[in-house]
Every structure is written in C-alpha cells, then in structure tokens.
Amino acid sequence: MIKKMLLAMLVLFALIYFTLTKYYTDVQINKYKDRQVVLENEVIQKGWMPSILPESAYEIRETHDLDANTLFGSFNYKEEDEAVFMQHLTVKPDMNNTLEWGSFLFQVDQEKNYVKFRNKPIS
C-alpha cells in the first residue's frame, strides 16, 4: 500500500514538474521597429543584441531563453549600411556561410538585406 502511494506521489510530482517547465519557461520573444527602439530598451546592454546592429536596422526580432542560455534574432537593413556592417564580421571556419563577431554568429542574405543571428554555443 505504501509503495503504491509513493509511486502515485512520484508520478504526480513528475507531472507537475513537466507541466511547469513546459508552460512557464524563461523564453522571451521581442520585436522592435528599429534600432532606436532597441537602444531605448537597452537590449544591447542586456546582451540580447549585437552592438554592431546597423543604423538602418528595422523589423528587429530577438528570442532568448534564460534557462538554456540561447538567443536567436533577425533584422532587415538598408543596403547603404551593408559595407560598414560586413566589415565587422569574419568567416567562421568549418561552418557553411556563417560569420562571427564577438559572442554572436550570423547568416547574412545580402540580396534581401536580411540577417539572422544567434549567440555562440557555450563549449
């Protein structure tokens, strides 16, 4: 009888744990109109956005998960800022078309003036 109660309690606690971790994560999704809004919200200082964000960046999105320490984002930019932005980036060896700067990795679509970024995985 006691074993059954202990097993039932263990199953109940496991269900509660998985329910809470699934529905109450530290994932935040943010959207910003342009670089000015990013600066006003101090997103760069928090480490959620690279400081090399072009002046003309717009439709900026970032998603970060504090539990997993992951960060993903994207933005569009005007072609006039492309050369200055690209000069900060270096090719990441052994990764297909991936560029890096600081603690960030980038995929840049120069035809669409669109950038996806993420934080480097912790090794």
Domain chopping of the chain, boundaries: 26-119
Instruction: Using DSSP, state whether 84 is helix, strand or coil.
Output: helix
Q: For position 21, what pLDDT does the model report?
A: 59
61/122 Cα distance (integer angstroms): 22
Which residue from 58, 11, 12, 63 is spatially nearest to 35, judged by alpha carbons? 58
Which of the residues in the chain have pLDDT under 50? none
Q: For position 93, what pLDDT does the model report?
A: 79
> To 10 degrees, the CA torsion angle through 82, 88, 92, 93?
110
**Going by C-beta distance under 8 Å and a sequence separation of 6 or more, which residues neighbour residue 120?**
100, 103, 104, 105
Q: Give the distance, in angstroms, between the CA of residue 100 and the centroid of all CA atoms in the same chain.
A: 14
Cα distances from 5 to residues 13, 15, 17, in angstroms, run 12, 15, 18
Q: For position 123, what pLDDT does the model report?
A: 63
Q: For position 33, what pLDDT does the model report?
A: 97
Q: For position 6, what pLDDT does the model report?
A: 76
103/80 Cα distance (integer angstroms): 25
Per-residue pLDDT reduced to its tens digit, 66-98:
778 899 999 999 999 999 999 999 998 777 789
